[in-house]
Chain A
Amino acid sequence: MKQSVLMSVVLGLSVMAAHAQDKLVMDGSTTVGPIAKAFAETYMRQNPGVNITVSESGSGNGAKALLNGTCDIANLSRHLKESEKKAMSEKGVKPVAHVVAFDALPVIVHPSNRVKGLTIDQIRDIYTGKITNWKEVGGGDQRIVVISRDTNSGTFETFKELVLGNDSKIVASAEYTGSNGGVRQRVQMTKGSIGYAGLGFVDRSVKALDVNGVAPSAESVVAKQYPISRELFMFTNGEPVSDSLAAKLLSMSRTEKGREIIEEIGYVPVPEK
Chain B
Amino acid sequence: MLLSPGARTRRRLAELAGRGVLFGITSVAALAVMAIIFFIARDALPFFTQVGAREFFLSTEWYPAHQPPRFGAAAIFAGSLLVTAAAVLLAVPLGLFAALCMSDVLPFGVRQILKPVIEMLAAIPSVVYGFFALTVVAPLMQNAGSWLPGQFEIASGVNALTASLILAVMALPTIVSVSEDALQAAGRELREGSYALGATRAETLFKVVVPASVSGLFSAVLLGVMRAMGETMVVWMASGNAAQIPRPWYNLLQPVRTLTATIAGDMGEADQMTGSAHYHVLFAMGLCLLLVSFACNLAGEWIVARQRKRLRGG
Chains A and B share a contact (CB less than 8 Å): yes
A interface, CB within 8 angstroms of B: 57-58, 60-61, 64, 67, 83-84, 86-88, 91, 143, 145, 150-152, 156-157, 160, 166, 169-170, 172-178, 185-186, 189-193
Residues of chain B within 8 A of A151, CB atoms compared: 64-65, 266, 269, 278
User: Which residue in B66, B157, B269 is a CB contact (below 8 Å) of A190?
Assistant: B157
Residues of chain A within 8 A of B270, CB atoms compared: 60, 64, 152
User: Which residue in A156, A160, A176, A190 is a CB contact (below 8 Å) of B156?
Assistant: A190
Is B236 positioned at the interface, with any CB of A under 8 Å from its CB?
Answer: yes
**Interface range on chain B: under 10, 10 to 19, 20 to 34, or 35 or more?**
35 or more
Residues of chain A within 8 A of B216, CB atoms compared: none
What distance in Å separates the Cβ of A226 from its nearest Cβ neighbour in chain B? Answer: 25
How many angstroms from the CA of A172 to the CA of B241 in the assembled complex?
A: 10
What distance in Å separates the Cβ of A92 from its nearest Cβ neighbour in chain B? Answer: 13
CB–CB A173/B269 < 8 A: no
Residues of chain A within 8 A of B61, CB atoms compared: 169, 172
Residues of chain A within 8 A of B158, CB atoms compared: 175, 186
Write the chain B residue with the least CB distance to A167: B67
What distance in Å separates the Cβ of A24 from its nearest Cβ neighbour in chain B? Answer: 20
CB–CB A172/B269 < 8 A: no
What distance in Å separates the Cβ of A165 from its nearest Cβ neighbour in chain B? Answer: 11
CB–CB B265/A145 < 8 A: no
What distance in Å separates the Cβ of B64 from its nearest Cβ neighbour in chain A? Answer: 6
User: Which residue in B67, B240, B269, B278 is a CB contact (below 8 Å) of A175?
Assistant: B240
User: Which residue in B66, B255, B269 is a CB contact (below 8 Å) of A60?
Assistant: B269
Is B203 positioned at the interface, with any CB of A under 8 Å from its CB?
Answer: no
Is B155 positioned at the interface, with any CB of A under 8 Å from its CB?
Answer: yes
CB–CB B139/A189 < 8 A: yes
User: Which residue in A173, A191, A192 is a CB contact (below 8 Å) of B244?
Assistant: A173
Beyond A166-B67, A169-B63, A186-B158, whether A175 also contacts B242 by CB under 8 A is yes
12 A-B pairs besides A83-B274, A150-B268, A152-B268 with CB distance below 8 A are A60-B270, A84-B273, A151-B278, A152-B269, A170-B63, A172-B244, A173-B242, A176-B243, A185-B134, A189-B142, A189-B157, A190-B157
User: Which residue in A67, A157, A192 is a CB contact (below 8 Å) of B155?
Assistant: A192
CB–CB B64/A172 < 8 A: no
Residues of chain A within 8 A of B139, CB atoms compared: 189
CB–CB B156/A60 < 8 A: no
Near A by CB (< 8 A), chain B positions 125-170 give 134, 138-139, 142, 153, 155-158
CB–CB B254/A152 < 8 A: no
Residues of chain B within 8 A of A150, CB atoms compared: 241, 265-266, 268-269
Write the chain B residue with the least CB distance to A60: B269
Residues of chain A within 8 A of B62, CB atoms compared: 172
Residues of chain A within 8 A of B65, CB atoms compared: 151, 156-157, 160
Near A by CB (< 8 A), chain B positions 257-285 give 257, 265-274, 276, 278
How many angstroms from the CA of A74 to the CA of B105 in the assembled complex?
A: 61
Is B84 positioned at the interface, with any CB of A under 8 Å from its CB?
Answer: no
Is B75 positioned at the interface, with any CB of A under 8 Å from its CB?
Answer: yes
CB–CB A60/B63 < 8 A: no
Residues of chain B within 8 A of A145, CB atoms compared: 155-156
Residues of chain A within 8 A of B257, CB atoms compared: 176
Is B60 positioned at the interface, with any CB of A under 8 Å from its CB?
Answer: yes
Residues of chain A within 8 A of B244, CB atoms compared: 172-173
